[in-house]
Structure 1
């Protein structure tokens, strides 16, 4: 079965890119960390290039199994901040945005709000651009939609379906053994910004909340309200 996915940044995209390559026998059994450390030229990146041929893109959408993975918008936002804008991340690509050493979460949120208010909400970086603006679930009829919060179980079901004809000891599995969350980080980060700022963030990510079925007022993990 051929797969076609909309990979969202900060929503298990690296883990599933590795699975794509392993399912197609393009790469061996390596860990996600080792995969991240591979030189760009050592990865068959043509599998993940955006389609420039519209006819081919529509053919694939009609004939391939399609899926994408969603994530609570605020969890994804904090994950992007931690990964791209903190000193510990060692990634300074975005440090020039505010031209101040290390960027705080408060500054990061105010930057996003400023861009939104000045009409540049659709031009935000792909790591924090709303998910529906990247994967367009209203326009595309995806076969399978998974949640980052239940990634292990959701991925296992899809992988089981894709590998129905493989022997059990040869089946490829997702290395994540439990649902991936970072709720505590999100609670701490959002405790630093005002209710007015949270209200605007809810407006910016309104379509994500509405169309992807997330509650903007709380995060639920294992049935418990945590935010």
Structure 2
């Protein structure tokens, strides 16, 4: 298999790059992608990266969680604790701080991500941008929601027999769809609309619906003003 990204771009000759790209898009290659509903993917990232309280040293997401805690300190900290953060702008990792054990709310995580460069993080960046879905012309697009059936078809196509489909861990995130839906139930309509526009292309490409993760037959009306505000944020 030719990996056109194996070397640094500066090391390519134009002829090598063009030849490799041509091979990659040829009928000799099978291009496959596995996707999941954008709202479940985002909520799963929050549970794993922010709400888990892993407290890993030098972890990007550990730092993000603490930044969110400080940004929305009125919801988490006492007056004395907020005063501490106003005085100490930079806190060494060796110092135990109040935000160290705070699990920030899903809403605050969403607001921070949508207003920060972190919206480009690979754990929640839309597949349309992350995987260049339209450009790569994937032969197979499988969904996590129907993974067992999709993998079976994919295996049959490739003639593979090495994956144990009886192992449930391949198909479970440890949380139910109802649990993920509950996280979105408390979000304001404006945030739901921002997420709708953020994942708009993915919804269209993979036939997902916003309503799949709304509870109690909740309906959301997103206006053009929501979209304009979202574009300014991004």
Structure 1 residues 161-205: Cα deviation after superposition (integer angstroms, max 9, x where no partner): 2227xxxxxx21244448546312211110231111111110111
Asked if residue 205 in structure 1 is aligned to residue 199 in structure 2, the reply is yes
TM-score, length basis structure 1: 0.62
Bigger CA radius of gyration: 2
Asked if residue 78 in structure 1 is aligned to residue 43 in structure 2, the reply is yes
Give the structure with the larger strand fraction: 1
Asked if residue 59 in structure 1 is aligned to residue 23 in structure 2, the reply is yes
| SS state at 1:87 partner | coil
- Note the 1:83-102 alignment, pairs <5 A: 83-88=48-53, 92-97=59-64, 98-99=66-67, 100=69, 101=99, 102=103
> What is aligned with 2:108?
107
Structure 1 runs not aligned, ≥5 long: 5-46, 165-170
Give the structure with the larger helix fraction: 2
Q: Is the 8 A contact 1:71 1:148 kept in 2?
A: yes
Structure 1 residues 137-158: Cα deviation after superposition (integer angstroms, max 9, x where no partner): 2112111110010011101111
Structure 2 runs not aligned, ≥5 long: 70-98, 220-234
| SS state at 2:33 partner | strand
Match of 1:173 among 163, 184, 188: 163
- Return the alpha-carbon distance in structure 2 between the equivalents of residues 187 and 106 of structure 1: 13
Give the C-alpha shift of residue 57 in structure 1: 4.4
- Return the alpha-carbon distance in structure 2 between the equivalents of residues 179 and 150 of structure 1: 9
Q: Is the 8 A contact 2:203 2:209 kept in 1?
A: yes
TM-score, length basis structure 2: 0.61
RMSD across aligned C-alpha pairs, in angstroms? Answer: 3.1
